[in-house]
Amino acid sequence: MRRKHDRVIVVGGGPVGALAALLVARAGIPVTLIEREAGVQPDYRASTFHPPTLDLLEECGAEAALLRMGLVAPVSQFRDRRRGKIAEFDFSALARDTRHPYRLQCEQFKLVDWLYRELARIGASLLLEHTFAGLRQTDDEVRIEVDAPGGRRTLACDFLIGADGGRSRVRKAAGIAFEGFTFPEHFLVAGTRHDFKRHMPDICSVNYTADPVEWYLLLEIPDMWRVITPVDPAVEPSEAMKEQRLQDSLQNLLPRPEPYEILVKAVYRVHQRVAATYRKQRVFLAGDAAHLNNPLGGMGLNGGIHDALSLCARLARVWHGAAPDAELDGYEPQRRPEAINAISAITERNKRLMEERDPVVRSRNLAEMASLAADPARAYRYMLDASMISSLRRCGMVA
């Protein structure tokens, strides 16, 4: 494909877009990253980085940064609110499959902060307070409209990466449908410094607790514990964020005489959606712009990082003449099926397991999880899927 501008533009400076910009820049391609916010925003969504993601992030330095900032969690549990621990999975069993046989717990905004500093260090162009507003593309360029502090600007590039999140304006401007559905309930995230391990001695750092009324995910991250629970669809998100409701939810998890100190709180709408295509000529989608899923399994951002790694490696090979343009055609067939068959399928299965209301199905599920964990061969296969190693092997991104 002809190159007129000698530049790639990435829209969206979240973790996926900022990583894509770094990978493109490191490949010697001039890049501009466009972000609507004025700087890194605290974001209480992703905190889990899976083993092969860390393997793949070694080369660009992000793995070392995550290890410095995060908490290593080799074990995860599946629990029941009333019955306690049902199954435990020790990811050390994956030591021959990955150099990082554990989940690394680190908030996504810390990764974004590191990426922005890296971009600044290598002199890549990061335009903050620039909001993408529209695009036009021809056979040999992409032109975009951007709302900047000084007014509307037009920028041009050879390839555009839309990594502007679930509501992606790039995806809409490219006319790409976002198929799937939105869950009726929101997900509530609350962070507290209360030492759950002291009061619930048999838990570990990653605990999925099933319950027909209010399941919860209890995650240890550096400096605090994070609790994720569903919000009844009849309750307004603003109501769910009220102090008393948060206290009720935490007291229901673990009663204590005094109120919890709540350090962070947020409510998120949750979807299962995959873009109809990941590419329109010179425009590509990556991360949440391309696929959204519920957070039970911690796969959305990991999948987005895998998108960025695949796409940027392909772009670099084509840019430097090491591969024909057809290399870019391989991006969607490599990544989109994984969004459907791995990320969506596993996270949907996890959600069903956590919230099952039918008592018969529920006890069958609990028995099945217990027997799975007790059988080393089956537990190993389960961990290959849960850690996303199977997904990345299937699409040829790891050995």
- Residues of this chain that interact with ligand FAD (CB under 6 A) are 11-17, 34-37, 45-48, 108, 131-132, 163-165, 169, 187, 189, 228, 268, 270, 287-288, 295, 298-302, 304
Provide the H-helix boundaries in the chain: 15-26, 51-56, 62-69, 108-121, 169-173, 196-199, 237-240, 243-253, 300-319, 326-329, 331-338, 345-355, 359-374, 376-386, 389-394
User: Residue 76 or residue 365: which is nearer to ligand FAD going by CB?
Assistant: 76
Of 14 and 366, the one with the shorter C-beta distance to ligand FAD is 14
- Residue 296 to residue 347: CA distance in whole angstroms: 5
Question: Helix (H, G, I), strand (E, B), or coil: what is residue 264?
Answer: strand
Provide the minimum distance between the beta carbon of 72 and ligand FAD in the complex, in angstroms, as a whole number. 15
What b/e sequence results for 205-217 when a residue is b if at least 16 CB atoms lie within 10 Å of its CB, and e otherwise?
Answer: bbbbbbbeebbbb
Least distance in angstroms from the C-beta of 342 to ligand FAD: 12
Q: How far is the CB of 164 from ligand FAD (least distance, A)?
A: 4
Facing residues of 66 across strands? none
The one-letter code for the residue type at 203 is I
Q: Among residues 290 and 366, whose Cβ is nearest to ligand FAD? A: 290
Residue nearest to ligand FAD (CB): 14
Please state the closest distance from residue 298 (CB atom) to ligand FAD, in A: 3
187 vs 319, which CB is nearer to ligand FAD? 187
Considering the complex, state which of residue 10 and residue 366 has its C-beta at the smaller distance from ligand FAD. 10
H/E stretch holding 187: strand 178-192
Minimum distance between the CB of residue 68 and ligand FAD, rounded to whole angstroms? 18
User: For residues 19 and 286, is the Cβ–Cβ distance under 8 A?
Assistant: no
Q: In angstroms, rounded to a whole number, what is the distance separating the alpha carbons of residues 396 and 373?
A: 28
The DSSP 8-state label assigned to residue 183 in this structure reads: E
Distance CA 85, CA 76 (A): 11
Neighbours of 82 (CB within 10 A): 9
Count other C-beta atoms under 10 Å from residue 196's C-beta: 18
Residue matched to tokens 């894509």: 20
Query: At closest approach, how far in Å is the CB of 362 from ligand FAD?
Result: 24
Tell me the C-alpha distance between 311 and 307, whole Å: 6
Minimum distance from CB of 364 to ligand FAD (Å)? 28
Nearest distance from residue 357's CB to ligand FAD, in Å? Answer: 22
Nearer to ligand FAD, 21 or 94 (CB): 21
Least distance to ligand FAD, CB of residue 257, Å: 29
* Contact (CB, 8 A) for 267 and 187: yes
The H-or-E segment that residue 134 falls in is strand 131-138
Is the Cα dihedral 362, 368, 374, 378 positive or negative?
negative
90 vs 147 by CB, closer to ligand FAD = 147
List strands edge to edge, sheet with 141-148: 131-138, 141-148, 151-157
**Shortest separation between residue 110's beta carbon and ligand FAD, angstroms:** 13
C-beta closer to ligand FAD: residue 299 or 328: 299
Report the C-alpha gap between 386 and 347 in whole angstroms.
Answer: 9
Q: Output 47 or 207, the one with its CB closest to ligand FAD.
A: 47
The nearer residue to ligand FAD, 347 or 365, going by C-beta atoms, is 347
Query: Position 233: which residue type?
Result: P
